[in-house]
Homo-oligomer: A and B are copies of this chain.
Amino acid sequence: MNTVNTSFKKILVPLDGSKYSEKALQRASEIGITFDSKIILLYVVEKSLPLNLLDRKEYLEILHKFGDKTLKKASDFLLKKEINAKILLKEGNIVTEIEKIAKKEKCDLIIVGNKGLGSVTRLLLGSVSNKLAQSSPCSLLIVK
């Protein structure tokens, strides 16, 4: 195997706890190991409420806990492969937060699953991966 210089120095992996984002994480670990990239794991708590079933505060608390758990699980998965990832939990619009972090952290690749990530956003605005395909500030890998 030859080595080459690439632009995959810093990879952002937005997670949502779905099997789709697990597949994206798996692929990120392969690329990360091979290209010696830094990996940032991101969970975004969607502020918009899908239905008025729960108290807003309670709803956000549940999502925060789920986000922490999802990030911990992904981080442990990477640690087993000797990859130290940075983890971030944000609140807001998923696509906006992904793009904000990608810019702020100067990521050169975002890896997402082709489904999952933001049921609310998807229903209203089309899937997150489709939105990112149009507006991502860096290269985008949609894993299928």
Q: Using a CB–CB distance below 8 Å, which chain A residues touch chain B?
A: 1-7, 27, 29-31, 33-36, 114, 127, 129-130, 133-134, 136-144
| C-alpha gap A101/B5 in the complex (Å) | 29
| C-alpha gap A142/B133 in the complex (Å) | 7
Q: Is the CB of A144 within 8 A of B136?
A: yes
| C-alpha gap A133/B140 in the complex (Å) | 10
Given A129-B133, A136-B144, A144-B136: A33 and B4 interface contact (C-beta under 8 Å): yes
Q: Is the CB of B1 within 8 A of A30?
A: no
Q: Is the CB of A3 within 8 A of B1?
A: yes
CB-based nearest B residue for A29? B4
Q: Among the listed B1, B27, B140, which residue makes an inter-chain contact with A142, where contact means beta carbons less than 8 Å apart?
A: B140
Q: Is the CB of A1 within 8 A of B36?
A: yes
